[in-house]
Amino acid sequence: MKKGLFISIEGPDGSGKSTQIAALKEYFEQKGMDVVLTREPGGTAISEKIREIILDKNNQEMDDMTEALLYAAARAQHVAQIIKPALMAGRTVICDRFIDSSIAYQGYGRQLGDCVRIINEYAVRGCMPDITFLLKMDPKIGKSRIRDEEQDRLELEKLEFHQRVYEGYVEMEKAFNRIVGIDAARSIQEISADIIAQIEAVLQEDGRNRNDL
Ligand code: TMP
């Protein structure tokens, strides 16, 4: 049985995930909790190699299903090698993107539909986040925050793609209690105070002092 808290952070490109993840890590560390910070696609040597293939701007010919399967493959390795062992050891895992990114980007963005969820159920084998923060920001604003030359293969997709991704996220937020929408069009401090308040509530509800784990 997993003992640690598993948190994932989601949102459109340019929604400020990295800044919020750093603030959350600091919050847990100040509480003396053992935190593992990781990301997708990536987090292991094998998954980082898959990341390079997926995001390479030169791989324009990549088939959408290949893309979905590569994200799922990177995730399967990440869960098996990093996330599951850390949770079993009672550590807190903060993951920059997880399964919801695939459902939003490949399911809605690429319009592959529900097969993306099914593929990923095999990849994660029941290892799902306890709470997911969705940083909500107009994808147009998010995209404009990343310089053209810094955009990877996915970020370079046209605005309509990113709008479908965002619609997917909003639908998932409505469907799953696990996903907490956060208004990301505010100051960095306001956003992180909001996230931390939600985490405090989860820790209290949990009925366990996770410092003891
Ligand atoms: P990052 O820029 O947040 O590191 O993510 C890399 C890109 O990959 C980003 O554009 C979102 C995209 N992505 C997917 O399309 N599907 C996935 O499952 C994941 C994890 C990311």
91: CA distance to ligand 1 center in Å?
A: 24
Q: Determine which residue's CA is closest to atom 19 belonging to ligand 1.
A: 101
- pLDDT tens profile 119-129: 999 999 999 99
Residues 6+ apart with CB under 8 A from 125: 76, 79
- Residue boundaries of the structural domains of the chain: 6-207
49: CA distance to ligand 1 center in Å?
A: 14
Sheet holding 179-183, edge to edge: 35-39, 92-96, 6-10, 131-136, 179-183
- pLDDT tens profile 15-74: 999 999 999 999 999 999 999 999 999 999 999 999 999 999 999 999 999 999 999 999
Q: Which residues line ligand 1 (CB under 6 A)?
A: 13, 39-41, 55, 71, 97, 101-102, 105-106, 152, 154-155
- The pLDDT, as a whole number, for residue 213 is 38
Out of 105, 120, 133, give the residue to mutate to test ligand 1, the one with the largest number of ligand atoms within 8 Å of its CB.
Answer: 105
Q: What is the mean pLDDT of residues 178-201?
A: 96
Within a 10 A sphere around the Cβ of 156, how many other Cβ atoms?
14
CATH number of the domain at 6-207, out of 1.20.1530.20, 3.30.420.10, 3.40.50.300, 3.40.50.880? 3.40.50.300
Query: Within the chain, where are the H helices?
Result: 17-30, 45-55, 64-78, 84-88, 99-102, 115-124, 139-144, 159-175, 188-206
- Cis link prior to 41 (omega < 30° from 0)? yes
